[in-house]
A = this chain, B = another copy of it.
Amino acid sequence: MEEIDHLVADISEPRCDGRNFNQIRPVNFEIGYTEYADGSVLASFGKTRVLCTICITEGVPDWMKRDHVPGGWLTAEYSMLPSSTNVRKPRDSGKPDGRSIEIRRLIGRSLRAAIDLNKLPPMTLYADCDVIQADGGTRTCAITGSYVALKVAIDKLASRILLPDDLLLGAVSAVSVGMVEGRTLLDLCYSEDHNADVDMNVAMTDKGEFIEVQSTAENRTFSKAAFQSLLGLAEGGCKQLFALQKNALESNKR
């Protein structure tokens, strides 16, 4: 493993798909893509498309009842359609694989940072993230799209029952960054992700706070300086995503 101490590459050179190093892919949130879920958003980051839905169900998990935890709960599930990847991915037989479980837990924690569960009635919110097409960044697309679905679902719920104003704590978005052939890049597509030496996923709130920072060396270890660069890049990406989430939600109201 070589170490990456400084960033020698020319970061202004465009990427395979023409983007700058600090540009996210075209993002879209198709609100109301399906109609049975309480919130439903087809989120896309470039070619990556994830159907993000929120289904609100009565009751809370057994562990909350047993431990008398007040409020509600939010849990996430994540799965890839077999046809979503370049080479067909067999369906999970039995439990989901390790990678899926990690991602489910990440999405769940990130979304729970957007909502004050203590103030929720005894309900369970299921965030289902089903990947329709995977071109890198499915977990960050899932988090970012699910927040939009969550906002829609809570607004809908608020039209039926009385909910506290501060139930939602703010928006949540997530983006990947990575070190690819010596360059720091924002929002990796699959081919970039595949070649990344360092891979980092960051989930933030729209107040600039962090929820999760997960940084993993794939081929090389990384220096503190590299880490800081990546973190800054991710902050910029999340800021862009917050604006796009806001736009989509406002267009939906009209």
Interface of A toward B, CB cutoff 8 Å: 1, 3, 34-37, 40, 47, 49, 51, 53, 55, 57, 77, 79, 81-86, 88, 91, 93-95, 98, 101-102, 104-105, 109, 113, 116, 126, 128, 130, 132-133, 169, 204-205, 207-217, 221-224, 227, 231, 235
Contact = CB atoms under 8 A, between A and B. Distances in A.
Given A40-B83, A83-B34, A104-B98, A210 B215 contact: yes
Copies of this chain: 6
B1 A113 contact: yes
A69 to B, nearest CB: 13
Main secondary structure of the interface of A (DSSP, over half): mixed
Instruction: List 4 tightest A-B contacts by C-beta distance, closest first.
Output: A209-B221, A53-B83, A55-B88, A37-B83
A39 to B, nearest CB: 10
B211 A221 contact: yes
A220 to B, nearest CB: 8
